[in-house]
Structure formats: C-alpha cells, structure tokens
Amino acid sequence: MSKKKWLDWVLLTSIPIRRYAPNGSPIGIASACLLNYQDRRFVLTVSHAVKLGSNDWAIELDFHPEKGTEIYRPSTFLYLNEMKRTTGEITEIDYCYAEIPTDLNPVWQHLTPRGPQSDKKSRHIFSGKDIAEPQDSEIYAFSGQVYPERHGTHTLVTQPTVYPGLRYTTSEGPFHEFKLPVPHPGHDSFKGCSGAPIVDTNHRVVALVVNGDISKNTIYGISLARYKFTLDFYCRELRKA
C-alpha cells in the first residue's frame, strides 16, 4: 500500500464523538475506535474525555444536508480500575467502552461551513485480531478532528487531520510512548484526538491517544492489548445471562 493510501485509511480509523448540552448544542469533542469483537460491536475511548457518569456523549454517524448531523448515543459506558494486590491501591484506568448495535456504520466526509466537500466513505471498524503490541520497526499514526469552531447554536465545524511518522519508544504500565517526527505543536493542536486509535502500516491498532509531553516530544496511548480481557469478560458474562 502506498503512503497516501495508508494516510487516507488512517483518516477513516478515528470515530468522532461529541458531547451535547441539553438544548442540543455541541459542547465537547473527542475521538474513539470501533471494534468488532465476538459477534458484538464496541466503541472504545478514554475516560478523561468521557468521564464516569456521562450520558451526554454521542457518536457522529453521518451528515444529511436536509436534516443535519445524525448521531447515536451509547446507553452506558463501562469503566475500569486496577488494584495492586500488595497495597490495595486502586488506580483509575484512562479507558472506557460501550456496546453498540452491530449495524452501526458511521461514515467520513469532509464538511465545511459551505457544505460537503467530498464523497462519503465508510469509517474503518477493527476486529479483535487487529489488536497488537507496538513494535520498534513499525511506523504509527493517528487522526482526529481538531480546531472546533461553532457556527450558530447547533453547528460545530472541525478540521480533519492525520499525524503520521510516530515511532514506538517504550511502555510503562498501561501506556505506550511514541516519538513525534516533528517538534510537538502544542496540546491545542491535538484537542479532539483523545481516544483516537494509534495504528501501524499493517492496519493494526495498538493504543488510544491519551495525552502528550511537549518537553519530550512524545504522545502517550493506553494499551488495547493489555485491556482486551475486559471485552472477554463482558462477552462471557452476557453469554451466561
């Protein structure tokens, strides 16, 4: 696959999610990953964006010029804590997920205040076999919608972007660290990318974007392989029910 085709694919891997006020006005942006797992479909994101107890986040599915933006609101997000056996210390994990319908298929389209500027493309949905550990030899990327601008009360315009050329450096606990190929542009440049999948050139996903370190020129992601057991447990318990 050419570099351009890979970057075009990366753009389709990140699922935009939006936080809405009671009046329907968009008041927050983040990203997510869709995953088919054991005949179910899940949306995965990070809990520092979709905080515990939130019920005002939705997946952006499509845009219809006559009707506006089509969304889907997951009923319940599930969260994760880790406990150290030696001390009993409990740590909140920056990760959450929700089951969604298996026929939920969001699309990507370049939208501007003047309307759609591209054809629609189906967003990528990963499978369980696509979850991997990062490798030193691989190149990584992530994408998201950044620089939100409000136009009126109910319209939010964002800029789609891709950040390629990341190199895996190390892992510590639940986090993988990746080196940026250029100086860190500042946290505002990544606002809206929290929860975006970090992917390699073989179409595998290794982590979800959590944060970055300007001084170290790095991006951190929460490991998906480390917490795949949460989906195993969820699916197993539903089979028992």
Task: Tell me how far CA of residue 5 lies from CA of 94, 133, 164, in angstroms.
Answer: 31, 23, 13
Q: Beta strand pairing status for 111-112 and 218-223?
A: unpaired
SS3 string of 125-139? CEEHHHECCCCCCCC
Task: Tell me how far CA of residue 187 lies from CA of 135, 146, 161, in angstroms.
Answer: 25, 11, 14
CA distance 137 to 157: 37
Q: What is the pLDDT at residue 10?
A: 97
Residue 195 region, left (φ>0) first, then alpha (ψ -120 to 50), else beta?
Answer: left
Q: What is the pLDDT at residue 116?
A: 66
Q: What is the pLDDT at residue 66?
A: 75
Q: What is the pLDDT at residue 67?
A: 77
Residue 75: CA count within 13 A, CB half-sphere: 3
**Is residue 37 helix, strand or coil?**
strand
CA distance 35 to 132: 13
Q: What is the pLDDT at residue 63?
A: 81
Residue 149 CA to its chain's centroid (Å): 20
In the chain, the amino acid numbered 15 is: I
Q: What is the pLDDT at residue 177?
A: 98
**Is residue 191 helix, strand or coil?**
coil
Q: What is the pLDDT at residue 204?
A: 98
CA distance 168 to 82: 24
> Are 141 and 10 in contact, with CB atoms under 8 Å apart?
yes
**Is residue 147 helix, strand or coil?**
strand
pLDDT tens track of the chain, all 241 residues? 688 999 999 999 999 999 988 888 888 899 999 999 999 999 999 999 999 988 899 999 988 877 778 899 998 999 999 888 888 889 999 999 999 999 999 999 876 666 666 788 999 999 999 999 999 999 999 999 887 776 666 666 778 889 999 999 999 999 999 999 999 989 888 989 999 999 999 999 999 999 999 999 999 999 999 999 999 999 998 888 6
Q: What is the pLDDT at residue 16?
A: 94
CA distance 170 to 148: 32
